[in-house]
Amino acid sequence: MDNFNISFMDVLKIMWKFSQEIQWVDVLSEIHCGKNTLNKLFSKLRRLCRKYYEDNYFLLGGDGYIINCDESVFRHKPKYHRGRPTTQEFWVFGIVYASVVPSRGYMTLVKNRSVNTLLPIIKKHVKEGSVVYTDCWAAYDNINSIGLHHETVNHSLHFVNPKTGLHTQFIESYWAKQKYRQKKIKGSMGIWLKTIRQLSFGRITYVRKIFRNWLI
């Protein structure tokens, strides 16, 4: 941050706000610097988080650890200068590593929700031996065949299995957060997903790492 004419305390405030996913325009009134400087600082933090994500990417889960998988429809309304915008719908597949705090997740756009689409994604991003919780969508029926332990909850009957206590509420909460984020981020769905994947993993972890290094 040496290239920015800003106090050390303001840098700490900016990093904290960034880690809490507060947009730079909402921080402007609290920081003693111009909007161009603040925008550049947020952009630099996003670049650093993306690099951290690329350098530290790892498979989700592990032997006995819980994973939630699910699909959800996202609606994107492009902004045009004229006429009424047309809402577009996209299927997004998500994986949440629920055994860590904060939980970590992965999302990607999918053309369909077939077994041939979803199973390779799960195999690529989830470690063998993980316990995968899903709903009863047919595409998940063969998860056991790729070295994972599969448990289901029938959402047409209940959201928490009354006998086992099994649920997929981690990823339901994850969807709510991501859809809220989507409304705040302008641009295409592809850009949004790439940004969210990287920042979801890197934002809190990277900023906490910097704080630890400064405090030592």
Q: Which architecture characterizes domain 66-184 according to CATH?
A: 2-Layer Sandwich (3.30)
| Helix 8-19 / helix 189-215 crossing angle, nearest 10 deg | 130
Per-residue confidence (pLDDT) for residue 126, from 0 to 100? 94
Tell how many helices (H) and how many strands (E) occur in the chain: 6, 5
Per-residue confidence (pLDDT) for residue 209, from 0 to 100? 64
Question: Domain limits of the chain?
Answer: 8-56+201-215, 66-184
Contact call for residues 114 and 91 (beta carbons, < 8 A): no
Distance CA 178, CA 57 (A): 20
Mean pLDDT by 10 residues, the chain (216 residues): 70 77 75 80 79 75 92 72 62 86 79 95 94 93 95 79 76 81 62 58 59 53
β pairing state of 88-97 and 104-110: antiparallel
Per-residue confidence (pLDDT) for residue 215, from 0 to 100? 47
Per-residue confidence (pLDDT) for residue 216, from 0 to 100? 44
Per-residue confidence (pLDDT) for residue 206, from 0 to 100? 60
